[in-house]
């Protein structure tokens, strides 16, 4: 397949009146990914299972019109700050900032017009990678500083998708970039709760109904958030008040320090035991979201997704972390002269 082949779903123009730019990358091991400059979005991930089946592993839509209709951040690059900022407020160097609020008075995934809604520039394209770049001006959604961002998607020979994030600023500002892909590794017949999942974390962060931290990370021991040994997502689903409030899992896990040394952060296995996903990252936390509010969003078939059709594993800083220095987590405030550089690798393998 031609790496620059336009994905057939994108036929119409984007909101700026120009066509979306779409790129497909393929390797010899049977994996192909499709990417779009609107939102620096990961549109599709297809894996060859055998001679008769090529399986789509991501949730997605079939047209640019439906892309704009969906409200669940399918496959987009999220920024400036992934997850929530309580009341959209924070203080840097004694100055208080108020940023865009777009969910119950809080800032979610960068605000009303986050990075997911922008057209990114294709800064570089080769046979195995695409680099998207974006300039976020000082005051964008209320955030301070001019921020230059790039996101590199690279398809590796071991069936990994490497996502590399870079940013720099001329004024101190919060930065927390992630990808919001929803995975379903099955054949389309099961929802995400039938997947088996492992998360390399001993703590998770309890939150309010709106996803705002209640206090501090707590141990997963003796809770439904214990994924240290692989188990089905359904096993402890809605087993405690935290999940009932969120209608499922929508919580950040503090990854164990050995993830920084190359240990996997998470592993998921498809319901039919044919596909394994391994996640590697140098971010300190990861949000597990089980698609609790997917119902009604358009799918690839021109129909509608149901809740829990897919799950997201969003590598990031903890939500609202700039307002909780007592957590002793890595700082999410990027300073002038510093380089924001984090990576996440999603590896897909056939089992058996």
Please report, for the chain, the start and end positions of each structural domain, with discontinuous segments joined by +.
22-179, 192-335
* C-beta of residue 50 within 8 angstroms of C-beta of residue 178: no
Structure tokens at 166: 């870079």
**Distance separating alpha carbons of residues 34 and 336, to the nearest angstrom:** 34
**Distance separating alpha carbons of residues 251 and 220, to the nearest angstrom:** 12
For 34, half-sphere exposure in the C-beta direction (CA atoms, 13 angstrom radius) is 24
* C-beta of residue 326 within 8 angstroms of C-beta of residue 209: no
SS3 readout for 196-238: EEEECEEEECCECCCCCECCCCEECCCCCCCCCCCEECCCCCC
- Domain 192-335 sits in CATH at 2.70.98.10
Q: What is the pLDDT of residues 192-220, one digit of tens each?
A: 999 999 999 999 999 999 999 999 999 99
For residue 183, the Cα-to-chain-centroid distance in whole angstroms is 10
Domain at 22-179, CATH from 3.90.1150.10, 2.70.98.10, 2.60.40.1120, 3.40.50.1820: 2.70.98.10
One fold for both 22-179 and 192-335?
Answer: yes
Q: What is the pLDDT of residues 320-331, one digit of tens each?
A: 999 999 999 999
Q: Provide the residue-wise pLDDT of the chain in tens; the chain has 352 residues.
A: 333 334 444 567 888 889 999 999 999 999 999 999 999 999 999 999 999 999 999 999 999 999 999 999 999 999 999 999 999 999 999 999 999 999 999 999 999 999 999 999 999 999 999 999 999 999 999 999 999 999 999 999 999 999 999 999 999 999 999 999 999 999 877 899 999 999 999 999 999 999 999 999 999 999 999 999 999 999 999 999 999 999 999 999 999 999 999 999 999 999 999 999 999 999 999 999 999 999 999 999 999 999 999 999 999 999 999 999 999 999 999 999 999 999 999 999 999 7
**Distance separating alpha carbons of residues 96 and 313, to the nearest angstrom:** 31
The model scores a pTM over 0.85: yes
| pLDDT at residue 189, as a whole number | 76
Going by C-alpha positions, the residue among 178, 206, 352, 130 that lies closest to residue 279 is 178
Burial code (b: 16+ CB inside 10 Å, e: under 16) for 20-35 equals bbbbbbbbeebbbbbb
| pLDDT at residue 1, as a whole number | 34
Going by C-alpha positions, the residue among 94, 194, 85 that lies closest to residue 141 is 85
| Catalytic residue set | 180, 314
SS3 label, residue 168 = strand
**Distance separating alpha carbons of residues 159 and 47, to the nearest angstrom:** 9
Going by C-alpha positions, the residue among 333, 301, 189, 307 that lies closest to residue 250 is 307
| pLDDT at residue 291, as a whole number | 98
Structure tokens at 227: 């994924």
| pLDDT at residue 352, as a whole number | 75
For residue 38, count CB atoms less than 10 angstroms from its CB and return exposed for 0-12, middle for 13-18, buried for 19 or more. Answer: buried
| pLDDT at residue 255, as a whole number | 98
């Amino acid at each position: 397949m031609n790496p620059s082949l336009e994905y057939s779903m994108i036929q119409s123009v984007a909101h700026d009146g120009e066509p979306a730019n779409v790129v497909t990358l393929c390797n010899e091991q049977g994996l192909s990914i499709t990417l779009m400059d609107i939102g620096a979005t990961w549109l599709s991930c297809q894996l060859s299972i055998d001679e008769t089946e090529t399986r789509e592993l991501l949730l997605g839509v079939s047209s640019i019109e439906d892309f704009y209709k969906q409200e669940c951040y399918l496959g987009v690059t999220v920024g400036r700050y992934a997850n929530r900022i309580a009341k959209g407020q924070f203080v840097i160097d004694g100055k208080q900032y108020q940023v865009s609020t777009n969910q119950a008075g809080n800032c979610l995934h960068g605000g009303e017009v986050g990075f997911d809604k922008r057209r990114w520039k294709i800064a570089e394209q080769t046979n195995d990678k695409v680099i998207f770049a974006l300039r976020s001006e000082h005051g964008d959604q209320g955030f301070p500083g001019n921020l230059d961002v790039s996101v590199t998607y690279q398809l590796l020979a071991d069936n990994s998708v490497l996502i590399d994030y870079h940013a720099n600023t001329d004024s101190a500002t919060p930065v927390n970039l992630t990808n919001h892909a929803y995975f379903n590794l099955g054949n389309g017949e099961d929802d995400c709760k039938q997947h088996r999942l492992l998360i390399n974390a001993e703590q998770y962060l309890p939150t309010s109904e709106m996803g705002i931290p209640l206090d501090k990370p707590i141990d997963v021991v003796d809770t439904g958030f214990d994924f240290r040994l692989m188990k089905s997502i359904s096993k402890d689903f809605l087993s405690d008040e935290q999940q009932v409030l969120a209608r499922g899992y929508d919580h950040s896990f503090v990854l164990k320090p050995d993830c920084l040394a190359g240990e996997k952060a998470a592993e998921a296995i498809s319901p039919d035991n044919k596909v394994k996903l391994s996640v590697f990252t140098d971010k300190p936390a990861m949000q597990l979201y089980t698609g609790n509010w997917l119902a009604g969003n358009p799918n690839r078939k021109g129909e509608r997704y149901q809740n829990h059709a897919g799950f997201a594993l969003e590598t990031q800083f903890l939500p609202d972390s700039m307002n909780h220095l007592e957590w002793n987590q890595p700082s999410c405030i990027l300073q002038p002269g510093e380089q924001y550089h984090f990576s996440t690798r999603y590896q897909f393998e056939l089992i058996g």
